Amino acid sequence: MPAPLPVIPKREGEYWTARQRQMHSLHYVVSYRAAFKPELPDYFIRRYTKAGQIVGDPFCGRGTTVLQANILGRYAYANDISPFAVWLTRAKTNPVPLSEVCSFLAGIDWEGSVAESYPPELLLFYHPKTLHELLLLKKSIREAETPVARFVALLAVSRLHGHSPGFFSVYTMPQFSVPPQAQRRINRKRRQVPEYRPVLPRLLAKAKAALRDGQIAKIRRMSMHNCYTRCDARTLYGWQSESVDLIVTSPPFLNKVDYLANNWLEYWFLDIDPETFGAQMLQTANLEEWQAYMACFLQEMERVLKPGGVCVIEAGDVLYRKQTINLDETIAAALAAAGCRFLQPLEVLIQRQNFTKLSHCFAVTNNCKGTNTQRMLVLQKK
């Protein structure tokens, strides 16, 4: 007999603003598929923790929870199976002053020579001279291996592909790396060939925008004590039992986003081999499999949370076999099946808001008519 599903109280309202880009400028440095707004972790971190406590995110993505925790004076545990996500999170939580970025970039000989091979498909995106500068930058970053070099790499990654002249590439999609054959079609349709886009001024402009809101020393002081791991979220090696005060996280919603294919330009720039982790990604189109994964994940949450600690899981709704499924309900069913003795549901918080920009629609089925609903399952360890 399956365990009976608990009745979970629901609270519905507009708990944070629908306006875009209201939080610290570092949050917006790089786009990432299925990232949540920083207002979401901000709300729960303020509600459930005090300064000096520990906030974790086992599916950290671009590090939204982790950065917000550090900004609010909390320490953070960051985990993701993708080395790109962990790298992004570490780089964002270790910003450096603008003067250091300027000196690092001034030290590069942009006319120098570089003997590095590259995939020829890159020429669909970059003018040969832009690509030459990118190869020089990549080499300088690799040789330096310093915090400033990693921060410059973060800035470079943010400029690899996009719509506007502020990017290094010809017109392409900003949210993900378009596959070469699709870019070939875009170029043909738009009758475009990549023009020369100097790398240096674009990096400097991006550095100014990313560092605009300051607090660099404070973020670094907190992030020194962060813990960054790259594990499957069901087995968080390095996260001690009963050590975390609050988890704020968002797992992949079934197979809505292909994190491997979507980031190939970033992987090229950072020398990341997707073969090394692809098979471990939670990427399934099967709801039962997803629920079984979540049951093991919840057991791990029960292990790492302190007694009294809270776990917030954001999970939208998805279209599954022509039916809309609220994934928070699937997680509640997973909790009942997991047999967790101490982890109990507190509430489902439903954030409703009107949408002005459709560009933020994705992975959820109901937000394309100007409204969006986000559902957060809130659990507490007794």
Ligand X SMILES: C[S@@+](CC[C@H](N)C(=O)[O-])C[C@H]1O[C@@H](n2cnc3c(N)ncnc32)[C@H](O)[C@@H]1O
Q: Are 56 and 31 in contact (CB under 8 A)?
A: no
What is the token pair recorded at 197? 């886009």
The dihedral of CA 334, 336, 337, 338: what is its sign?
A: positive
Largest CA distance in the chain: 71
Residue selected from 24, 29, 54, 61 as contacting ligand X according to rule CB under 6 A: 61
Q: Is there binding between residue 77 and ligand X (CB under 6 A)? A: no
Contacts of 138 (CB under 8 A, 6+ apart): 116, 269
Query: For residue 35, which amino acid is it?
Result: A
**Phi/psi at 324 (5° precision):** -85, 125
Q: Which stretch binds ligand X (CB under 6 A): 54-62, 92-100, 190-198, 268-276?
A: 54-62
We find the least distance from the C-beta atom of residue 242 to ligand X, in angstroms, to be 21
We find the least distance from the C-beta atom of residue 57 to ligand X, in angstroms, to be 7
Residue number with CB closer to ligand X (146 or 280): 280
Q: Is there binding between residue 316 and ligand X (CB under 6 A)? A: no
Residue number with CB closer to ligand X (65 or 169): 65
Q: Is there binding between residue 85 and ligand X (CB under 6 A)? A: yes
Q: Is there binding between residue 281 and ligand X (CB under 6 A)? A: yes
| Residues contacting ligand X: total by CB under 6 A | 21
Residue number with CB closer to ligand X (204 or 272): 272
We find the least distance from the C-beta atom of residue 79 to ligand X, in angstroms, to be 6
- In this structure, the strands spanning 343-354 and 323-326 are unpaired
Residue number with CB closer to ligand X (220 or 256): 256
We find the least distance from the C-beta atom of residue 204 to ligand X, in angstroms, to be 26
We find the least distance from the C-beta atom of residue 197 to ligand X, in angstroms, to be 27
Contact pattern for ligand X over residues 3 through 42, marking x by CB under 6 A: -----------------------------x-xxx------
Residue selected from 282, 312, 364, 376 as contacting ligand X according to rule CB under 6 A: 282
Q: Is there binding between residue 233 and ligand X (CB under 6 A)? A: yes
Q: Are 283 and 255 in contact (CB under 8 A)?
A: yes
Alpha-carbon distance of 344 to 347, in angstroms, equals 9
Residue selected from 55, 72, 76, 81 as contacting ligand X according to rule CB under 6 A: 81
We find the least distance from the C-beta atom of residue 100 to ligand X, in angstroms, to be 26
- Please list every residue from 345 through 364 that binds ligand X, using CB under 6 A: none
Alpha-carbon distance of 296 to 364, in angstroms, equals 24
Residue selected from 39, 100, 232, 328 as contacting ligand X according to rule CB under 6 A: 232
Residue selected from 70, 82, 140, 169 as contacting ligand X according to rule CB under 6 A: 82
Residue number with CB closer to ligand X (195 or 289): 289
Determine the angle formed by the axes of helices 128-144 and 199-210, rounding to 10 degrees. Answer: 60
Q: Is there binding between residue 280 and ligand X (CB under 6 A)? A: yes
- Please list every residue from 109 through 168 that binds ligand X, using CB under 6 A: none
Residues in contact with ligand X by the rule CB under 6 A: 32, 34-36, 59, 61-62, 64, 80-82, 85, 232-233, 250-252, 259, 280-282
